[in-house]
Amino acid sequence: MEVWDLYDANRQIIGEHIRGEELPENAYHLVVHVWIKNQKGQFLISKRSADRKLHPLMWECTGGSVLKGETSLQAALRESFEEVGIKLDADKGKFLFSNIRKQIEGRKFNDILDVWLFDYSGDASLERATTNEVCAFKWLYPDEILHLYESGVFISTLKYFFDTPLLMGCVA
């Protein structure tokens, strides 16, 4: 059973929530997206396993829900190790922005999304990963990720990667 802190729109903790249960109308859970960039300017993207309930076999960045008692940064570090076997250095992380998302593509989301960017000079390893959420990964340049997005095989909820000047400034 996965338990999350519940937040109000001002990011104040108002309770807790069990994953899979309906989120209250004006309550949010915290989610992180972690963009991992190598020295060549490529980003690590991962392919979701076929058994994932949402978006199976779609490409995405690393990320997931923040657990009860965790900070956004702690979740970014945990998710990166769980999904792609990378131990990121917290000092190399840069918090980019946060966004409240009530709905995405007509579906209730009620999350607060924190987006992180990490410079990383090693490699990923599914053998070191502690979950089977990811079945493959690769390093791609932003224009290659855009091609996947335009081809419909990259999760559409990540379109901000291409629409946000802050992120585009980081990828140049």
Q: Determine the average pLDDT of the residues in 55-67.
A: 94
Domain CATH code at residue 135? 3.90.79.10
Count: domains in the chain: 1
Phi, then psi, of 8 in degrees rounded to 5: -90, 180
Task: Please check the confidence at residue 170 and state whether its pLDDT lies above 70.
Answer: no
State the residue range of the domain holding 151: 3-171
Tokens of 115: 């987006």
- Mean pLDDT, the chain, rounded, equals 89
Q: How far is CA 113 from the centre of its chain?
A: 8
Residue 61, judged by CB atoms within 10 A of its CB (0-12, 13-18, 19+), counts as buried
pLDDT digits (tens, 9 = 90+) for 100-109: 988 767 777 7
Q: Determine the average pLDDT of the residues in 40-66.
A: 93
Reported pTM: 0.90
Q: Determine the average pLDDT of the residues in 102-127.
A: 87
Secondary-structure breakdown of the chain: helix, strand, coil percentages, each rounded to the nearest 5: 25, 40, 40
Distance CA 42, CA 33 (A): 16
Task: Please check the confidence at residue 48 and state whether its pLDDT lies above 90.
Answer: yes
pLDDT digits (tens, 9 = 90+) for 143-156: 898 889 889 998 87
Q: Determine the average pLDDT of the residues in 18-26.
A: 86
Task: Please check the confidence at residue 4 and state whether its pLDDT lies above 70.
Answer: yes
